[in-house]
Structure 1
């Protein structure tokens, strides 16, 4: 067996919930041209002159809530390290080393790949921990990793796992998480994915506008790396396993930024409308994330709960992310072994 390095990459997290560290994280994250894909000058002014100065103090308070909820630690980093450790254990008798890096902040890709270069691997398997491909997540992580690797004198064989939205183990882990809840006790089920600007998808398929696409009805085989397309397919796969009927669930998108068109329907608006229409208890999945984070624990768990109560509802229950599920760790092992 070839000496192999496995590189797990997630988005990133501030080093602490202090405003200084949150500002540093947001500055790196939002200055990425794949995240805010406008002109370099416009992005510089927008991010460094408006968004970061005003958003960092507010975001720091929210990150503090997240840290407090997860025993003073970042759950994204905590569960990332658990995945790295458990996956390494599965390869303990093989010439395989598992590494974890974050696209933004620490452990940084620069630091981790510098260490990996010294190991002289024959093969490196890159697994961005994003179930659905998007230019701003998977695309950015792979681009930076390859930009660093191309500077090496000896470049090993590279395998990339671009997405796993329909991986059976991924779907089954979500189903496993659902067993903690009695679905029949809820009035409606939400599948809330992270939002992205429509323009980022239309750059992938300029011949097809999101408004004219029918991927919400059926998977579009012509665009297998389209984020919206794969999100709806994940919903269909979960719905089939849970035996949900049309009208019992909604796919929606959260965490938008700015006034340009983002993927719709918006999760907060869907929740408001559902509660007003009489759905008092909601069950929410967040399949775009493999570990709980700000967007799940705080945005859905706290902020959306406030929306529910504000409009006369009772509860929105978040289904736990994959986190440290044994089935999820087994699934990652399977995906990696398929690249040997």
Structure 2
């Protein structure tokens, strides 16, 4: 890269929203960004400015105490090292992570930090990487920390809306239409679950019939999204790959799913690998009722929360 690019002198703040990986029907292939309808920010923020030398890192926020105490062990510090290496530069930066998402929640916590950090660094250095190149860096770095590249949190967190993973040569993902009248109620019970351990619950092989069902449900859901056929989309929003094996490992999930169905919610699923769940309705009053039920019966630990959300169409942005 050019060594003469300008570097911003001012403090820049970037917000990256929470995301649902899988969205039930699309294991590792579908993701959506979340925006609480009350206007609160459900996601991490990163503040960046120029420094004389080195990477000056700090962390604040509700969940900062759950992160490594040594800055060099934090993924945002590592993002800065990674980005500067890509630019082959030794500029100094001051970077602060405001950790607002719980770790191991199923809400794309690590993706939010990574996307916010790399977006902020790219803005700070006057956008040396275009959208697709920056997305590639986000996926590459996320792969370093999770041992495999999955874009289903990174892509919607960065680009917003609902994203279908393509993994094509020149395009990692593509936005698909969503249903503007759907409310996504999400509830985090306050416990953390290891993504790696939740993956270990899945079988090494699936029956051919399950593979066919997975392809049918996902393709039909995408078709229904483009046709804006809400009833078909809801009917197809089924998880045959992960939920049957993970549901019992999430305390209270099956009871909550059954209770939400009795309330009249259209469908309920696991956000990412859990323990956060999502439940869908097109009725705002019912969404608020479901949220209240979840606050009383699903939240089990301090720090747990529930929100009525729409999809965040903006994705990561300067705030």
* Fold shared, TM-score > 0.5 on shorter chain: no
Between structures 1 and 2, the one with greater helix share: 1
The answer to which structure has the higher strand fraction is 2
The one of the two structures with greater contact order (alpha-carbon pairs below 8 A, sep at least 6) is: 2
Normalised TM-score (structure 2) = 0.28
TM-score, length-scaled by structure 1: 0.27
